[in-house]
A and B are shown apart, each in its own frame.
Chain A
Amino acid sequence: MNDLPSLHLWLIPLLPCLGFLLNGLLGRRMPKKLISAIALLCTALPLAQVAWIASRFHSLSVPYIERFATPWIAAGAFRASFDLVFDQLTLVMLLVVTGVGFLIHVYSVGYMAEEEGYWRFFAYLNLFMFFMLTLVLAENFLLMFVGWEGVGLASYLLIGFYFKRKSAADAGKKAFIVNRIGDFGFLLAMFLMISHFGSLSFSNIFAAIAQHPEIHGGFVTAIALLLLLGAVGKSAQIPLYVWLPDAMEGPTPVSALIHAATMVTAGVYMIVRAHILFEHSPFALGVVAIIGTATAILAATIAVVQNDIKRVLAYSTVSQLGYMFLACGAAAFSAAIFHLVTHAFFKGLLFLAAGSVIHALGGEQDMRRMGGLRKAVPVTFWTMTAAVFAISGLPPFSGFFSKDAILYQSYLSPTAGHALWLVGLITAAITAFYMFRLWYMTFFGQSRAHALEEAGSEHAIGTHAVETHGAAQTLAPAHAAHAPHESPWIMLVPLILLGVLSVAGGWIGIPQALGGHDQFARFLDPALSGRRHSFEELSIQMNVEGPAAAAAASAMQPSVPPTPNPSQERLFSLLSVIAALSGWFFADLFYRRKPGLAGRWVENARGIYSLLVHKYWIDELYSAVIVKPTLWSSRYLLRSAVDRGIIDGGGQLAAGSARGLGALVQRVQSGNIRSYAGWLAIGAAAMLLLAHFGFVLH
């Protein structure tokens, strides 16, 4: 494999695990400084290790696989191990997870400073890091599934962090249960893999497919679709996205880390890691692309009418994840990862800055009560501005390059195509619109902190309970009376760093058409190029074995994307910029220059507005179609009929029959001597009969 000393990859996930154990078991009695020190250390050390590995990356032979002596499962012919793999894709993911994770840990030290359960928060956060790192480093699907489930668990624990609030507990449950549905798909995919390939290891499976694609045909599609179901659950795509908006009940750093930068991207990572599977099933790729695009535009339209700042960002995350899925569906895996990286930067920044705004206003999350914060919280304002520009896809910010790569690749791809490109473009315009709407409503205009209370209007339907900050459960007017203040430096430094990355982070992926060297895509190519090797092998085979084999082989192969046309690419970039600018224009119109215009449009389009505000009634649909029947069948079928009727009834039948029999036999003991004598007589007679005729018979 390689002759260099071991990279000790096992340390990377284990250090956060150690932090979890220390903070979890002992944290209740530790001072806050010690808790945060442990948590930060256990996140910073893995980051340092990853950075060190990155610096020596050119001298490593990849893929580097770290094997462990003891196997995990050895059952018959099936083996599963704890092996960890490291290649370019792993490096990118590790840098994102540990880097952004560390920054968010630092931010949390300031944000959660007054919360009770401080130790619990950092314990759970470290637990999450442990599982996420396991997921990224795993060399087989089983270990990845351990990380997969673990991040779902950590997400549940952290969403329900304010467990005394029913809405938070419900949101945690919803997230976990919806995730489970996806995990079911993942499990089925793993079972299929075991039964068909006999192994869950990446190297075994991908090599088997690459060498003989034709014999795996239908299975590959089935496995790919089931894996997609898992990814849909974890990455909040249609139809399993409903948990992510509710997950905003958790503290804001949680939303930033788990529901923006890392956990929700696990689905995308999994698809990219299994790209060989997907590439050999054009049907699955098409499904991925369609789901991604549909989710992107659905979530973008819902985000337009949300009034809670965190909900807008949540739907925005769902929408951007849709973009990543579109990229995967177009077989543009490096573009998907590129957008994953830039999204981690600007979405993480958006959430942290939103948390800073909420902190500044003493717990206010409704944008209709914000406004005029530009001068009050300048650092937050400028960093959030950078993020808003990045997500809208304006050059030279990072989001422009990544989103552009996705849109262009999907236009060219046979599995995505022109229609999906157009929808993606429209979604980009809508994205710019609602992000600038958020920007204007939060930072510009007059402060509306008292506006809604004076007008006495009821809560709009899109807002939900205010996040507990400090001790207050509901927003009393006294809190709003405090002047908005900037956050402490410990919260601002991560904002600034992420702001810099949002601006400059895209520069590593500037395509050649716009003057760059496409470094990111080239860096990831060796990890994603399994297809090309097999294609070359097949082309050699074609020459040797003749046209029939060639026809069969080419039918199996997805077509190689044509070499990009630079001027076409530049044109498409221009179109994206125009879309973003038009979104900005309308946001400016509705929310800065003519504030009443939005109200009048809503009046005219009550039906559409109602549809969007109720999130297309999807939650209600799920409740009616899935939740209520399940509850009904549990209550009446399973509880009343099966549990009480059959199981309890069986037990009571046994007990009752014993009691009845006993009561019957009890009547022999009547206390009446004559009846005793009677029974004696008949007993003696019976025995005599038996003895006599028994002997006669024998």
Chain B
Amino acid sequence: MYLALFIFFAVLCVAGALNLLLQRHPINSALSLIVVMTSLAVLYLLLGAQFLAAVQVIVYSGAIMVLFTFVIMLLNAGREEHTRGSRAAFLVGIPGAAVLLALLVQIFLSARGHLAQARLGEYVTATHTLSAVLFRDLLLPFEVTSVLILIAILGAVALARKEP
């Protein structure tokens, strides 16, 4: 059953990603990405990272993707036209990506024996473990990250403000 769950949600991820690639209108792509993120949240659950799954849904698909949707709405981005594109990207990039994929898959599959097998519910991370590490050992990075967010807010406000 674990395997079935995994396969189902994995296929959902890939399908969403491919949809992202193939859709013309950016809003469709954004919605596909939401599907991908939600499926990923389930996969995190399967791997025992329950807190992260929750955060993924709340922050990523709940906040970031909403931000994207708002921007798409704001800019009134329409369908993509066919314009002259970059040759180099196609000629050089696609083979590069393909090679990367092939290589990574080959590496991972060949290392199959060195990696463990996952069982459902085998190792579930308790949230307090997470928070212990976060707020005790990594307190400074945590605080720095909040400063980072503050700066991001300031930057975003400064950039997107309407010129008076």
Contact = CB atoms under 8 A, between A and B. Distances in A.
Contact of B103 (A682, A683, A692): A692
Contact of B99 (A677, A678, A685): A685
A677 to B, nearest CB: 6
Given A674-B93, A692-B107, A681 B100 contact: yes
Contacts of A675: 86-89, 92-93
B93 A678 contact: yes
Nearest to B87: A675
Contact of A682 (B85, B92, B107): B92
B121 interface: no
A689 B93 contact: no
A682 B89 contact: no
Interface string B78-96: 0000000111111111011
A3 to B, nearest CB: 98
B97 interface: yes
A682 B93 contact: yes
Contact of B96 (A670, A672, A684): A684
Interface in A317-355: none
B88 A679 contact: yes
A674 B89 contact: yes
From DSSP, what is the main secondary structure of chain B's interface residues? helix
Contacts of B91: 678
A675 to B, nearest CB: 4
Contacts of A677: 89, 93
Contacts of A684: 96, 100
In the complex, which range does the number of interface residues on chain B fall in? 10 to 19
Contacts of B100: 681, 684-685, 688
A689 B88 contact: no
Given A684-B96, A685-B96, A678 B103 contact: no
Contacts of A692: 103, 107
A679 B87 CA distance: 12
Contacts of A689: 99, 103
A671 to B, nearest CB: 10
Interface string A661-698: 00000000010101101110111110011001000000
A277 B18 CA distance: 104
Contacts of B93: 674-675, 677-679, 681-682
Nearest to B97: A681
Contacts of B89: 672, 674-675, 677-678
Interface in B93-123: 93, 95-97, 99-100, 103-104, 107
Contacts of A670: 86, 88
B99 to A, nearest CB: 4
A678 B96 contact: yes
Contacts of B96: 678, 681-685
A670 B86 CA distance: 10
A116 to B, nearest CB: 75
A336 B100 CA distance: 99
Given A674-B85, A674-B86, A675-B86, A681 B103 contact: no
Contacts of A683: 96
Contacts of B95: 682, 685
B110 to A, nearest CB: 10
Interface in A568-588: none
A554 B89 CA distance: 98
A674 B85 CA distance: 9
Given A684-B100, A685-B99, A685-B100, A678 B107 contact: no
Nearest to B99: A685
A588 B86 CA distance: 105
Nearest to A688: B103
Contacts of A685: 95-97, 99-100, 103
A432 B96 CA distance: 103
Contacts of A672: 86, 88-89
Nearest to B106: A692
Nearest to B93: A678
A350 B119 CA distance: 128
Contacts of A679: 88, 92-93
A678 to B, nearest CB: 3
Contacts of A682: 92-93, 95-96, 99
Contacts of B85: 674
A463 B87 CA distance: 82
Contacts of B97: 681, 685
Nearest to A672: B86
Contacts of A674: 85-86, 88-89, 93
A684 B101 CA distance: 11
A685 B89 CA distance: 14
A455 to B, nearest CB: 91
A413 B93 CA distance: 99
Nearest to B92: A678
A672 B99 CA distance: 22
Contacts of B88: 670, 672, 674-675, 678-679
A689 B99 CA distance: 9
B80 to A, nearest CB: 13
A681 B89 CA distance: 9
Contacts of B103: 685, 688-689, 692
A674 B92 CA distance: 10
Nearest to B103: A688
B103 to A, nearest CB: 5
A339 to B, nearest CB: 92
A252 to B, nearest CB: 84
Among A670, A683, A692, chain B packs the most CB atoms within 10 A around the CB of: A692
Interface in B43-102: 85-93, 95-97, 99-100
Nearest to B88: A675
A405 to B, nearest CB: 98
Contacts of A681: 92-93, 96-97, 100
Contacts of B104: 688
Contacts of A678: 86, 88-93, 96
Contacts of B86: 670, 672, 674-675, 678
A685 B96 CA distance: 6
B78 to A, nearest CB: 20
Nearest to A667: B88
B43 to A, nearest CB: 25
Best-surrounded residue of B95, B96, B103 (most CB of chain A within 10 A): B96
A677 B100 CA distance: 13
A646 to B, nearest CB: 39
A110 to B, nearest CB: 90
B132 to A, nearest CB: 36
A202 B89 CA distance: 85
Nearest to B85: A674
B127 to A, nearest CB: 35
A690 B86 CA distance: 27
A385 to B, nearest CB: 101
Given A681-B100, A685-B100, 13 more contacts: A672-B86, A675-B86, A675-B92, A677-B89, A677-B93, A678-B86, A678-B88, A678-B90, A678-B91, A678-B93, A682-B99, A685-B97, A689-B103
12 contacts: A670-B86, A674-B89, A675-B88, A678-B91, A678-B96, A679-B88, A682-B93, A682-B95, A682-B99, A685-B99, A685-B100, A688-B99
4 closest A-B pairs (Cβ-Cβ)? Answer: A678-B93, A681-B96, A682-B96, A675-B88
